[in-house]
Chains A and B, each alone.
Chain A
Amino acid sequence: MKLALLSDIHGNLQALQACTAHAQTQGVDRFALLGDLVGYGGNPEAVVEQAMHMAEQGAWVLQGNHDAMAVQPNPLDDSVGASSAVWTHQQLSASQREFLKQLPLTVLQGHMLLVHASAYAPERWHYVDSERAAEMCMDHALQTFDASHVMVGHVHHQTVYYRGAGRKLMRFEPTAGAPLPMPHHRRWVATVGSVGQPRDHNPRAMYTVYDDQAQRMTFHRVLYDHAAAAAAIRQAGLPEFFAQRLERGR
């Protein structure tokens, strides 16, 4: 099975389309969307519509914190992340909101666990952004789900955590396009990056392809029309900052 993992699309239709097109060229036979379909971006309804269509075709779709916020915006929350939730809620149709509401937090497929933020208390949306956090995630994945490979999003960064020769986990920054061996007898936590809002000073969209047969994972950076995505945000009347950060990749 060749699985394309797309996470944190954040209403960015252009990036989603570019990544799915790229994934087709890589010969993937299944898609997984790891949550945060909406939030920040200018085309939430189009993205959710496409996600629903992909789910009908067999894709696995998970719920992220922004999806939960869009279903039930919290008027008392004034953080940056929550600011677009009300607007997003209004853009979605009733059936689209229902779709987001019933999305699962985790998907377990054999030895592979998919979750938006972390296998450790998925509903608390912990960031896997350090070796320590990755260790918590890895241990809980094994204890609760008996999974050796965990794929997460939420951090908008592409990394791999693994156990090297020592006791603590090691962190590895993958090179785009270079297939990485991820043998089944070892345990891995991979953060697949963000399709719709990269945060590493590189505006290219991020996604990952996992080849279960060859036991390899390849991280990709895909060019997309970020000017059009930024224009959609401005047209929607959302804060200018959300548009600018797409151009800067930060």
Chain B
Amino acid sequence: MAHIYTVQYAKTTDGSRRESEFPMAMKIPRMTAGDGAENIVSFEVEQQILPALSGAHVPRYVASGDLSRTPYLVMEYVPGQTLEHWSQAFEETPFKVGEHDMALARMGSALAHAVHSLHKQNVCHLDLKPANVLICPNGHVVLLDYGLSCHAHFPDLLAEELRKAVGSPAWIAPEQVVGVRGDPRSDIFAIGVMLYHLATGELPFGEPSTAGGMRQRLWMDPVPPRKLKPDLPEWLQEVILRCLHPEAAKRYPSAAHLAMDLANPDQIRITERGRQTQGTGFKVHFKRWFKAAGMHYQPSPLPSRQIQEVPILMVALPHEDVSDATWYSLREAVARSLGIRPGARLACVTVISSGDTSSTDSHKSETRVHRTHLTRMQQWAQGLDLQDHQVSFHVLESGDVAQALVRYAQGNEVSMIIMGAATHGLQLQRFVATVPIKVAMDAPCTVILVKQDLPFELLGTAASADDARGAQPLAT
């Protein structure tokens, strides 16, 4: 649909040539007799959207030509292989037992991160497929081809009153089929299709060529991956089928949530969805088919606002010199934030020093030490009403606590860090850069510093006794 050339800057009159910081490619729409007007419009859409995008997951925009005279688009040429080629190599690589799925999860997590960075910029890609996903040699993912994308701040040039389906048949999401173009969860559906294909070798909904064929995904669940490949782990099926749910509200609420699950497969809560090998029965499908018949277009709020509604919260739990008041106050603060955001996800993190574990001393082995800390955090979390919130627990090893917390927040798209105002026994001092101050300064997101506060009636009761690690008096 477009011609692509490598380009460089032209020589100037004095014979010199400007060096570009990075290799460049030029895209020119193909305009032969057989190509429809959609070709030009999708070129125009990409011309509008690419300059508005930034970040490591998008090719850098260089220049573009007037559409009415000489249409062209120059952007960064990113070295790497598309997911199509990557998956061929993936098939052929001999993996050790269990590593095949982990490699797939790693790639999926990198892909979800890339997609989340678009959603934060108010763009839904809406044409994610293996040909548009570029995997760099270091595993980093870059997304290409924004010809069908929708930027919430721009008039959508592909929108029209009949709300036709715009997308590629194998990967298009159910709501896209009825004309919705602003839902970031449509991109999550496409990721699910790609993961399904990589895991099983089959496409979950085939490659329909008719409108009726595309509508099947509005009510039908695909064959469970474990039915096709019984060796697949339950967590992988859980993730894939959650991405492919016909109702957008039942999928992962944001790509950041999906990335986090794929990065921590051992903490995924497995339900019947992950275990089943039989597939969904006729009755459920019929009920959904009935409901889907009335499904129609609804306008979407801004993608950036949608993902703000489903944040990832991180609570930094200390493990030394902790008073029962600190435990209690942290739990109250987390409960409050989770209550305000029903779709939020919680990550409980503690940082231990590398000296705490030893590869020689069996009492300080990494597994044992980690397990002790994980158990303590899980006990702390038992006091929380977690309902439908996803929660996971992580032990980080580092000499610099503040840096470890900030890095974790950056790498996992955390929207809010909740931590004690005076951890590790140090008072909040104005001139000493304590851990909370350093985190507050460097964090990529909101940081809530929680003061210790234990209600008088709970002092010396069973509730506080469970929490206390040695009888610590309340710090003032």
Contact = CB atoms under 8 A, between A and B. Distances in A.
Interface of A: 131, 160, 162, 164-168, 170, 172, 174-175, 178, 180-181, 183-185
Contacts of A183: 44, 67
A208 to B, nearest CB: 15
B156 A175 contact: no
Given A170-B159, A180-B153, A183-B44, 19 more contacts: A131-B161, A164-B157, A164-B158, A164-B160, A165-B41, A165-B158, A165-B159, A165-B160, A166-B159, A166-B160, A166-B161, A166-B162, A167-B161, A168-B161, A170-B156, A172-B155, A178-B153, A180-B154, A181-B154
A159 to B, nearest CB: 10
Nearest to A162: B155
B155 A165 contact: no
Interface string B39-60: 0010010001000000000000
Contacts of B164: 165-166
B161 A180 contact: no
Nearest to B44: A183
B308 to A, nearest CB: 15
B161 A170 contact: yes
Contacts of B44: 183
A217 to B, nearest CB: 10
Contacts of B159: 164-166, 170
B160 to A, nearest CB: 3
Given A164-B160, A165-B41, A165-B164, A175 B302 contact: yes
A174 B154 CA distance: 7
6 contacts: A160-B155, A164-B155, A165-B159, A165-B164, A167-B160, A168-B160
Nearest to B69: A185
B68 interface: yes
Interface string B10-44: 00000000000000000000000000001001001
A218 to B, nearest CB: 10
A164 B156 contact: yes
Closest 3 CB pairs of A and B: A166-B160, A178-B153, A165-B160
B358 to A, nearest CB: 55
B153 A175 contact: yes
Interface in B151-177: 152-162, 164
Of B67, B153, B158, the most chain A CB neighbours within 10 A belong to B153
Given A164-B157, A166-B161, A181 B152 contact: no
Nearest to A175: B153
B154 A170 contact: no
Contacts of A170: 155-156, 159-161
A183 B41 CA distance: 13
A170 B162 CA distance: 11
Nearest to A169: B161
Contacts of B41: 165
A162 B154 CA distance: 11
A2 B426 CA distance: 56
A172 B157 CA distance: 11
B155 A185 contact: no
Nearest to B157: A164
A162 B159 CA distance: 10
A184 B68 contact: yes
Contacts of A181: 48, 154
Nearest to A131: B161
A175 B160 CA distance: 20
Nearest to B67: A185
Nearest to A161: B155
Contacts of B162: 166
A165 B153 contact: no
Contacts of A175: 152-153, 302
A237 to B, nearest CB: 43
A166 B154 CA distance: 17
A174 B155 CA distance: 8
Interface string B64-82: 0001100000000000000
Interface in B138-197: 152-162, 164
Contacts of A167: 160-161
A131 B159 CA distance: 14
Contacts of A185: 67-68
Nearest to A181: B48
B156 A172 contact: yes
A178 B154 CA distance: 8
Nearest to B160: A166
B176 to A, nearest CB: 14
Nearest to B38: A165
A181 B45 CA distance: 10
A126 B339 CA distance: 48
Contacts of A164: 155-161
Contacts of B67: 183, 185
A17 to B, nearest CB: 28
